[in-house]
Structure 1
Amino acid sequence: MAEAESVIGTPDTSDDSERRTPEQTRSGRGRRIAVLFSVAAFAYALDLISKMLVVAKLEGRAPVEVVGDLLELHATRNPGAAFGFAPAFTVIFTLIAAAVIVVIIRLARKLYSFPWAVALGLLLGGALGNLTDRIFRAPGLFKGEVVDFIAPKGFAIFNLADSAIVCGGILIVLLSFLGRDPDGTIHTN
């Protein structure tokens, strides 16, 4: 069990001989926080760069086929949520994204799990990517439209921030299903 715990990055509390000192605990949490913010920074940078390229090279042009007609790059602006849902509520989506970011940053203080650090980093990076669009893109402050460009055939158009959010969300659901908490505890019910 201790070996498995070390692989997934959660503390094993079943053996008193392996209890961590306060210095080790702070160090482990510090590494997990560094992972969270590194993953977030990478996801955010990738999203930001991709959107800059899409706006500069694809916006106003015909879609570019990547894999025949199965996958295209098609620049579009989305004022709403996923699938263009509720375009009149852009300000609300901006506030929700900001709230998610605050919650993740607050949760980071109690973070001792490597997989949770990755999942929360993906969510944070994706939320920051779309929030940046909402704040700085036209038509105006807190009403900006998100740049979407990945267009699989028969599916909604999305961006890399959306992908990071979905991957982070799936990982969180999986970790929760497995009984793993952000603080490193494991539930075996």
Structure 2
Amino acid sequence: MITFRVDSSSEEELLYSVSVDSDGRASCDCEGFGRGRFCRHIDAVLVSGEWAMVPENYRAAAAKAMELARGKITSPTNWKATWRKDWAWRGLSATREPINPRRSGKPLVCFTGTLPGKKRADWLAEAKNAGWDTTDEPSPFTDVLVAKDPNAASAKLKKARDNRTVIVSADEWADVMLDGVLPDV
């Protein structure tokens, strides 16, 4: 039997004990759902593999328990898993930093408006074939926004201006895409 402790999601400094026997059966002393056989503590750690609610000094035991229980515990059919909405208990922040879509290291382009001569899918494919990443929304990480009318007042154009993103027309885009030389903002 392997036992580890899990933080209560509602009471500070209260810990519950979760145990896994040699057959991979789990129980929790919170006596939650199904007479202690299934609860948020078992679901979060043993089924979903989350760690934030396991105090550091119990994580090695929790890892061994996870190994014993792997594939042997399933959520009951009427289980709601409301713990997933408890961001603090899960160690997640409710505030998000902008996600940088440029992990690839490629320049990033966004297209807006009805561009002349081709369908949007063709513009996107052409950019990708030339080594660019594409996005649907301008962000601080966007290098170029291509617009039918760079002087228009759309929301995407305003956002791009606020982020000091280079805005070019469809005609200018061909040179920027191939040469990679950006006009000054």
Q: TM-score range by the shorter chain?
A: under 0.3
Q: Which has the higher strand share?
A: 2
Q: Which is bigger in relative contact order (C-alpha 8 A, separation at least 6)?
A: 1
Rg comparison, structure with higher value: 2
TM-score normalised by the chain length of structure 2: 0.23
Q: Which has the higher helix share?
A: 1
